Structure 1
Amino acid sequence: MSSPVARPEVLNLRVSQIREVANAGMGRKDILPFWVGESDQPTPAFIREATAKALIDGETFYTHNLGRQDLREALSDYLTRLHGRPIGTGRLAIANSGVNALMLVAQAVVSPGDRVVVTAPVWPNVVEIPRILSARMETVALDRAQGRWRLDLDRLMAALTPDTRALFLNSPNNPTGWMLPAQDRAAILARCREYGIWLIADDVYERLSFAPPVLPASFLQMAEDGDRVISTNSFSKAWRMTGWRLGWMVLPPALTEAMGVVVEYNTSCAPDFIQTGAIAALTQGEDAIAELRADLRAARDQVLGALRRMPGVEAPEPEGGMYAFFRIDGRGDSMALAKDLIDKVGLGLAPGSAFGPEGQGWLRWCFAHRPERNAAGLERLAGYLAQ
């Protein structure tokens, strides 16, 4: 009799190398951790206070599979303002985190054996979720030019063939900070329309662009109701709500009812009182987002400037997000380097190989921290390089 183990698709999933590095450093009080993607500041007080009141008032019951109506109305108003065109509640579904939204979408549209394309390096969950469902994954690697990351549009177009079921795009990108140029979106959408490809945009960092505060470029601004376009998003990053585990999906209207069924058989619904906090975020949070974006812009300049002054360091410019993705000459093994930094100087960074083979040799620094904390980490890295 065979051993009681998981099916091959699960056994073959990549183990999170970010978690592997974090486990190597957890418990050490001298570690400066920059390995996970979150701010070192708590959720804004007005969100916490609204949620605490909701909990005390007894908002602890099951809610609609797609989310409470008042939350979906607040989200509809927010997205309509943000993208400059109506996005009604009939297209919206609330999920128990952004990653849960990606899993729900994959369950709804991806079947075993389907061919799925994703640009990389990228957050590993984007690649591994379709693999859990026995899909075939193909990556299109980002390049570097003029000190920035870029996408070879022709290479992506060549990968979008008639047998492609879905394209996953994450922009601004984790880990590189790359942003899909607005002029490329129309061509990509046209190809997906031509071949009936599902276009799934992971928009979790859309408010964290370093460009002027104009409308974020989005497929939602050009997609029609009949297009196979889905946007997944999260409250985690723009509102500093990483531990709350709440996200959303913008769906074609014809998919929304079926998505409610998929939600039912995964989590049933999102927590009642947390949805009240999400309403506060959507209706009162613009100043907090502007403050965070300003902090991140300053942190980017601080960290990138210091990295570029260090000998042998290449650090392309991130256009959005909260990460510096850089490499050190002669250090091609990301995991070995990340563990050595922990061991030698107590500096916790994510290995680039965690984001696929396209990231091998690179390191990711989450700079969403106070200036003095980033400065202390940079001092440790400089000391390491001087050894």
Structure 2
Amino acid sequence: MAASLAPAAPADLVDALSARIQGIGTSQIGLVADRGRDDPEVVKLWIGEGDLPTPPFIVEAAHRAMLAGHTRYTTSLGLPALRAALGAYHARHWGVEIPPDRFAVTAGGMNAIMQAAQVLLEPGDEIIIPSPAWPNLREAVRIAGGVPVTVPYRRLPDGRFALPLADIEAALTPRTRVIMINSPSNPTGWTMPLAEMTALRDLARDRGLWILSDEVYAHFTYGNRIAPSFLQICTEDDRLIVTNTFSKNWAMTGWRAGWVIYPRGLAPTFAKLGQYSTTSISTFVQHACIAALEEGDGFIRTMVDRCAEARSILVDGLSRLPGVTVAPPDGAFYLMARMGGDEPSLDLALRLLREAKVGVAPGTAFGPEGEGLVRICFAISPALAREAVARLSSVLGRAG
């Protein structure tokens, strides 16, 4: 995510790089963050990260594992005990039975997505990505040689987002190989109902397409429910890959641990891919992940409750400002707010950083469909949410 702060490489060296690597985009989130990351006065809402530390019981599990000597190589698919714990976690929350040999442990959700892209895409293959979308999705596809094809979400008058299945179907071509779904979505908060998942599954089956489902924010829904999973409606032989991470649920962004779920029989493929990409993630981190899965449901509820309160504070406060359109998202922990006027999103984000000391992500960081919007992370304390509203009101309220 970081923008480049080092001197530029000589042109002849850049020209000698892989064309795919030369085409990697620069993160606009990083461009904004680099202006204020070291300023202690800035309320930092630009990054998808909560403000709580990792729970002590997870840290202590890692410490115990290190003291016990769990600091050596292990299987590239992940510890058998961790894959068994992942199976129990999915059975508990979604009522699905996933055997351990359908899980691979990865170096965070990003590595899970990258492995899925490498497994599924040949050069020139197209993958459907609803947009605005987390920019890492598009760049992972490009690095793997694929072609991202964006399908814009429809923006409803109240500020919410919708994604008709007909829009996805209209974007399919003979080169389409994968349909990517991130539900609940970063950055829009759109959450796909189970009935629409079923319809998309049927479309994918009919066309022989893969579904790549990023289900990172499944617990972050509001209204005493959990987001549905494609695992609930697909068989072990369907062309479905699900990616996830420990980062969001258990405040483990820096631990770099995630997982991927694949169809029956693909364990050897993912074992080889893991071996040649990371070998494995740290063994003691995997022991911490077991603790998160087995003991961490209460912490998830705490995180979601805090997010729900901060969400209400931000939506209520910002919706009172002139020219601001914002709706409570169904899921994830981001607001996509339109703040009036014709000011480009990146310029607006930089102005809010400068004038309000609030760091937000420009909507265009998530694709051109995000122009005119900014993304605000609300995985924060209610007190910090109130402070952000007060600061933004002091700048945006002037237009009244």
TM-score range, shorter chain: over 0.9
Q: Is the 8 A contact 2:124 2:175 kept in 1?
A: no
Q: 2:90 aligns with which of 73, 79, 98?
A: 79
* Pair 1:217 & 2:250 matched: no
Q: Structure 1 residues 378, 2: CA separation in 2 closer, same or farther (over 3 Å shift)?
A: closer
Q: Paired residue for 1:257?
A: 268
CA distance in structure 2 between the aligned counterparts of 1:162 and 1:192, rounded to whole angstroms: 13
* Pair 1:206 & 2:218 matched: yes
Q: 1:98 aligns with which of 109, 113, 116?
A: 109
Q: Is the 8 A contact 1:149 1:317 kept in 2?
A: no
* Pair 1:139 & 2:167 matched: no
CA distance in structure 2 between the aligned counterparts of 1:376 and 1:78, rounded to whole angstroms: 36
Q: CA deviation at 1:105?
A: 0.7
Q: CA deviation at 1:317?
A: 2.3
Q: Paired residue for 2:59?
A: 48
Q: Structure 1 residues 331, 371: CA separation in 2 closer, same or farther (over 3 Å shift)?
A: farther
Q: Paired residue for 2:209?
A: 197
Residues 284-330 of structure 1, C-alpha deviations (whole Å, 9 max, x = no match): 11111111111111111111111111111010220011111101110
Q: CA deviation at 1:162?
A: 4.2
* Pair 1:182 & 2:182 matched: no
CA distance in structure 2 between the aligned counterparts of 1:296 and 1:379, rounded to whole angstroms: 18
Q: Paired residue for 1:345?
A: 356
* Pair 1:231 & 2:253 matched: no
SS where residue 209 of structure 1 aligns? coil
CA distance in structure 2 between the aligned counterparts of 1:56 and 1:296, rounded to whole angstroms: 35
Q: CA RMSD in A?
A: 1.4
Residues 236-287 of structure 1, C-alpha deviations (whole Å, 9 max, x = no match): 0011111111000110012221011011110000110000110001001111
TM-score, with structure 2 as normaliser: 0.94
CA distance in structure 1 between the aligned counterparts of 2:39 and 2:22, rounded to whole angstroms: 30
List, as ranges, runs of 4+ consecutive aligned residues in structure 1 with deviation greater than 4 Å.
none
Identity of aligned residues (%): 38
Q: CA deviation at 1:371?
A: 1.3
Q: Paired residue for 1:108?
A: 119
Q: Is the 8 A contact 1:314 1:327 kept in 2?
A: yes
After superposition, residues 258-273 of structure 1 pair within 5 angstroms as: 258-273=269-284
Q: Is the 8 A contact 2:306 2:382 kept in 1?
A: no
CA distance in structure 1 between the aligned counterparts of 2:54 and 2:37, rounded to whole angstroms: 23
CA distance in structure 2 between the aligned counterparts of 1:347 and 1:331, rounded to whole angstroms: 20
Q: Paired residue for 2:308?
A: 297
Q: CA deviation at 1:61?
A: 0.6
CA distance in structure 1 between the aligned counterparts of 2:356 and 2:156, rounded to whole angstroms: 32
Q: Is the 8 A contact 1:91 1:252 kept in 2?
A: yes
* Pair 1:171 & 2:183 matched: yes
SS where residue 184 of structure 1 aligns? helix
Q: Paired residue for 1:279?
A: 290
CA distance in structure 2 between the aligned counterparts of 1:284 and 1:218, rounded to whole angstroms: 22
Residues 127-158 of structure 1, C-alpha deviations (whole Å, 9 max, x = no match): 11111122122111111226221112211122
Q: Count matched residues.
A: 386
Output the amino acid matched with 1:182.
L
Q: Paired residue for 2:138?
A: 127
Q: 2:324 aligns with which of 302, 305, 313?
A: 313
CA distance in structure 2 between the aligned counterparts of 1:54 and 1:123, rounded to whole angstroms: 34
| Contiguous gaps of at least 5 residues in structure 2 | 1-9
Of 26-35 and 238-247, the range deviating more from structure 2: 26-35
CA distance in structure 2 between the aligned counterparts of 1:329 and 1:42, rounded to whole angstroms: 35
CA distance in structure 2 between the aligned counterparts of 1:59 and 1:361, rounded to whole angstroms: 49
CA distance in structure 2 between the aligned counterparts of 1:46 and 1:146, rounded to whole angstroms: 45
